[in-house]
């Protein structure tokens, strides 16, 4: 009786040994013989799944497009001597030789403009009639929309050479130069013409920035401005 039990345990031991041995062998054989289905996925710059959008169409209403333009233009004309520094100081920020706790206006508005339009906007702002007093008297500028943007061709949109929907809008904003040590202020009427163009819903600007990324909101909407021009007149 004892011998039978010993043989039974020996048999179970041998079976368990080979069972344990077969598990990794079977796993290796399965990996060598099995070919899983390969699926490809395209990701955008934000590590999100890329969606192939039709950039010749939009789901935005006309009022939403106009509001976006108003918001961008008001953000463009909302700055002070602290957050729109001189070009030389801005280069120092980028080079790391100077530090600042708040993002510069150049970077705040960058997600809403194409590279070409952004350079033109910064040039126009730097050449504005408010510049000398802004820095000399440590002033700031606040915007007020005086005329909502109106699309030039109200019947239809256009499609550019890249196959993207676009529209041209005219509007105006009053930029009020405020001086902290003086009771008076100066007002400038800015009559602008902008081209608003369709873009993918998610866009990430790859330019290296010197401040913490969350301080600048990303442009995750359908639009950005690809062409900007304006004229300035003093409001007495």
What number is the average pLDDT over the span 155-165?
89
Of how many residues is the chain composed? 236
State the pTM of this model.
0.75
pLDDT, greater one: 27 or 67: 67
- Asked if residue 108 has pLDDT above 80, the reply is yes
Residues 6+ apart with CB under 8 A from 225: 69, 72, 112, 113, 114, 117, 194, 195, 196, 197
Radius of gyration of the chain (CA): 31
Residue 225's nearest CA partner among 63, 69, 67, 59 is 69
- Asked if residue 170 has pLDDT above 50, the reply is yes
pLDDT category at 37 given cuts 50, 70, 90 is confident
Q: What percent of the chain has pLDDT over 90?
A: 50
Residue 45, pLDDT score: 55
Residue 104, pLDDT score: 93
Q: How far apart are CA 232 and CA 236, in angstroms?
A: 13
* Cβ atoms 145, 173 nearer than 8 A: yes
Query: Count of CB atoms within 10 A of residue 136's CB?
Result: 10
Residue 206, pLDDT score: 47
Q: How far apart are CA 28 and CA 153, in angstroms?
A: 67
Helix (H) / strand (E) element for 92: namely helix 87-95
* Cβ atoms 104, 143 nearer than 8 A: no
Q: What is the pLDDT of residues 196-216, one digit of tens each?
A: 999 987 655 545 555 555 678
At the fourth CATH level, the homologous superfamily of domain 62-235 is VirB8 protein (3.10.450.230)
Residues 6+ apart with CB under 8 A from 87: 126
Residue 216, pLDDT score: 81
CA angle 81/85/87 to nearest 5° reads 145
Residue 227, pLDDT score: 97
Q: What is the pLDDT of residues 182-194, one digit of tens each?
A: 667 899 999 999 9
Query: Which residue carries 């799944």 as its tokens?
Result: 49
pLDDT category at 30 given cuts 50, 70, 90 is confident
- Please count the helices (runs of H) and the strands (runs of E) in the chain: 6, 6
| pLDDT, averaged across the chain | 84
Where do the structural domains in the chain lie, given as residue ranges? 62-235
What number is the average pLDDT over the span 120-140?
94
Query: Which residue carries 């062409």 as its tokens?
Result: 227
């Amino acid at each position: 009786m004892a011998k039978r039990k010993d043989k039974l345990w020996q048999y179970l031991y041998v079976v368990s040994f080979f069972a344990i041995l077969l598990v990794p062998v079977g796993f290796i054989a399965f990996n060598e013989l099995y070919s899983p289905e390969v699926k490809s996925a395209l990701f955008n710059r934000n590590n999100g799944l890329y969606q192939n959008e039709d950039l010749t169409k939009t789901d935005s209403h006309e009022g939403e497009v106009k509001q976006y333009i108003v918001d961008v233009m008001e953000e463009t004309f909302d700055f002070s001597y602290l957050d729109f520094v001189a070009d030389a100081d801005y280069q120092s920020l980028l080079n790391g030789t100077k530090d600042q706790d708040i993002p510069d206006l150049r970077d705040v508005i960058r997600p809403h403009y194409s590279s070409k339009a952004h350079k033109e906007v910064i040039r126009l702002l730097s050449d504005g009639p408010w510049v000398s007093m802004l820095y000399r008297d440590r002033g700031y500028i606040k915007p007020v929309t005086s005329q909502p943007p109106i699309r030039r061709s109200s019947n239809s949109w256009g499609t550019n050479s890249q196959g993207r929907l676009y529209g041209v809008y005219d509007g105006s904003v009053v930029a009020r130069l405020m001086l902290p040590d003086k009771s008076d202020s100066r007002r400038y009427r800015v009559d602008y013409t902008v081209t608003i163009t369709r873009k993918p819903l998610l866009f990430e600007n790859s330019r290296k920035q010197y401040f913490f990324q969350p301080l600048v909101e990303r442009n995750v909407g359908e639009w950005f401005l690809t062409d900007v021009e304006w004229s300035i007149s003093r409001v007495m």
